[in-house]
Amino acid sequence: MPKHQNKWEYPLLAGTAGLGIAAVSMLFSSVQYINGISRSAENNVVYEVLTTAPELARLQMTVAARFLPESPVTDDDVALRFGILENRMVVLGTAESRRLRQDGDEAIALIERMQKTVREISPRMQHLKTSADAVAILSAIEPLNTAAAQLAALTTSSSSGRIAENRAKLIGIFWQLLSEILGLLICGILLIALLRRARRVARHSASSDVLTGLPNRLSFNSTLSEEFGRGNETGSLIVMMIDLDHFKHVNDTLGHAAGDQLLSLAATRLLTAVPEALLFARLGGDEFAAIFRETDAERFAVDVAQRMLETLHQPFDLFGSLVTASGSLGIAIASPDDLGSDDLMKNADLALYAVKDATRGAYRLYHPALKQAYLDRQILASDLERALEKDELELHFQPVVSLGSGRTSGFEALLRWKHATRGRISPAEFIPIAEETGFILPIGRWVIADACATAATWPDDISIAVNLSARQFGDPQLKASIVSALSKHGLRPSRLTLEITESVLIQNDHIVLATLNDLRAIGVRISLDDFGTGYASLSYLTRFPFDAIKIDQSFVRCSTGEEDSLIIVQTICELAAKLGLSTVAEGIETEEQLAAIRATGCDEGQGYLFDRPLPASECATRIALEQLSWVREGATAALNTIASIPRPAEI
């Protein structure tokens, strides 16, 4: 949860809790006051005081009427009235009654005085026999009237004071409660707003990518399946998947912060380039995708794809380093054959895969043939898994010739696959499958072992070169398998050259460099293959002490037609000489090319002009014939020398 939310969340929660507690305590207080008022009313304490005077009056009237002629008042009536008064005195004097009335000293003194008077009158009431007794009792009762009136006045005023006080308190409580409830209401509203915002943020972060702020794969998939459900009536649904080429290289060479920066900048550019997109998302890593709907789908898709690729062409400024980037793009247009949005994604993926497998930096529209190619590839992959045990793999060896002496200095081991039904399959086709599936690990170990075994049958000055794939650098047994092959066949490590391409370094820079250093330390030579075709060939020369570079055959092929290619080859050779590296030119096919390459100062050459890759048995024949020709050349030279010596007769 973002920080600014926490800042308000806790004070609000504390405020709400405080207000809640205050409101509850206020409620208790008000209940107390209300109870007090209602209890006063229930016990009728004021009423008891106020009715004391009328009770006294009734007693006085009863006593006065007792001895009137033909009076209906009896002694029992008098006793009843007096009893009521006595009882009233007891009630007025109880502690509870006093507490409820909150009697002051004056009221207490009055009640005690009245009680005392009633107690004094009580025995005289037993002897009420004559009108004189009645007069005497009436005059004894008389002070009670004043006291009762005073008590009534005192009680009334204190009770109305108390009621006014309670009412004022209740009104105060009402306002306080009202403000607390309002406070609670505001806090509640703010908390709900915070909660809604937090939910919005949570929903957003679950459906969007943190780095670029774009929707993520989850939201892409849900939008795509929604759109797919709508059918194609308003236009065909289009999915485009774009992948940044060699993104890992940027990460490895410039660091992850620069990689993140590249992703953010590329995301912004791509998003701006596709205003028509229903959704543009980052699927993960360096992979982005967009959904469109358009009637003229194919024309539209090609137009947008070009726009997206072009927008990446301008260099990116990654914290001061200018980096050029490119992307590969796969397009799929919904067709009636698609059963679900997944099919559309798979098709776009297949199209993207086809671009990455070929040129990169381009786009490709999905075609059912791609699916077939994919399925064929799957079948080939499963056949390849068993190729080793079925003994279908074989090594051929192409000679590497010293351009100075014209002699074979070594051979490059090149894999061949004799497929049971498809016949010979080119390594250019099956090596990428082996790399992708990981079968290259057991195959690679077998290649090293077989190449070393064959090289051990050759003269000691003839070397062997073996190609290594990037994936093999993840093989923990790589070094051990090389060391064991060398020692098993008694091959000097310097006779073995390992050829790697730039792609190996791009993919696993640190691990690869460490492994290469390890291998070089045991005396094995390392060569940079296909030099000049990659991404940053020159920069790799400064990062690892290679022993040799193999100039790619594309330069050699052009060396006789294009001046520039020859200049490049010459410059590479001069640079290599300065760095202490030897050079091998690949793909020499004609005498013309040989002459041109030889003139550049290149050390060695390889190509069909010298020989195609040969089975091991033919290598032995070639070496033997070459040795024989040296012997013949040597013998001819010797004979010529002998022939040139003057004969005795001629002396």
Q: Does 529 bind ligand C2E (CB under 6 A)?
A: yes
Candidate list 210, 428, 643, 649; residue touching ligand C2E; CB under 6 A: 428
Q: Which is nearer to ligand C2E, 329 or 443 (CB)?
A: 443
Q: Dihedral (C-alpha) 449, 455, 460, 465: value to the nearest 10 degrees?
A: -80
Classify each residue of 292-310 as buried b or exposed e, where b means 16 or more C-beta atoms within 10 Å of its C-beta. Answer: bbbeebeebbeebbeebbe
Question: What is the residue type of 237?
Answer: L
Shortest distance (Å) from residue 499 CB to Mg ion:
4
Taking CB under 6 A as the criterion, which residues in 454-513 touch ligand C2E? Answer: 467-469, 499
| Residue 414, binding choice from ligand C2E, Mg ion, none, Cβ under 5 to 8 Å by partner class | ligand C2E
Shortest distance (Å) from residue 455 CB to ligand C2E:
14
Supply the angle between the helices 105-126 and 75-93 in degrees, to the nearest 10.
Answer: 160
| Residue 603, binding choice from Mg ion, ligand C2E, none, Cβ under 5 to 8 Å by partner class | none
| Residue 383, binding choice from ligand C2E, Mg ion, none, Cβ under 5 to 8 Å by partner class | none
Q: Which is nearer to ligand C2E, 103 or 529 (CB)?
A: 529
Distance CA 528, CA 514 (A): 16
Shortest distance (Å) from residue 385 CB to Mg ion:
24
Q: Is the dihedral of CA 37, 42, 47, 48 positive or negative?
A: negative
Q: Does 529 bind Mg ion (CB under 5 A)?
A: yes
Question: Looking at 25-33, 105-113, 417-425, 581-589, which segment touches ligand C2E (CB under 6 A)?
Answer: 581-589
Distance CA 283, CA 217 (A): 4
Q: Does 524 bind ligand C2E (CB under 6 A)?
A: no
Residues in the chain: 651
Q: Does 589 bind ligand C2E (CB under 6 A)?
A: yes
Q: What is the DSSP string of 401-426?
A: EETTT--EEEEEEEEEEEETTTEEE-
Shortest distance (Å) from residue 295 CB to ligand C2E:
45
Secondary structure letter of residue 458 according to DSSP? S
Euclidean distance between the first and final Cα of the chain, in Å?
110
In the block, tokens 């006080």 appear at 165
The alpha carbon of residue 295 and the mean position of all alpha carbons in its chain are separated, in whole angstroms, by 36
Q: Dihedral (C-alpha) 445, 451, 453, 459: value to the nearest 10 degrees?
A: -150
Q: Does 587 bind ligand C2E (CB under 6 A)?
A: yes
Shortest distance (Å) from residue 628 CB to Mg ion:
29
Distance CA 546, CA 217 (A): 42
Beta bridge partners of residue 504, listed in sequence order: none
Q: Does 499 bind Mg ion (CB under 5 A)?
A: yes
Taking CB under 5 A as the criterion, which residues in 579-618 touch Mg ion? Answer: 586
Shortest distance (Å) from residue 350 CB to ligand C2E:
24
Q: Does 414 bind ligand C2E (CB under 6 A)?
A: yes
Q: Which is nearer to ligand C2E, 86 or 385 (CB)?
A: 385
Distance CA 450, CA 469 (A): 17
Shortest distance (Å) from residue 529 CB to Mg ion:
4
> Applying CB under 6 A, which residues contact ligand C2E?
398, 413-415, 426-428, 431, 447, 467-469, 499, 529-530, 553, 586-589, 606-608, 613
Q: Which residues bind Mg ion (CB under 5 A)?
A: 467, 499, 529-530, 586
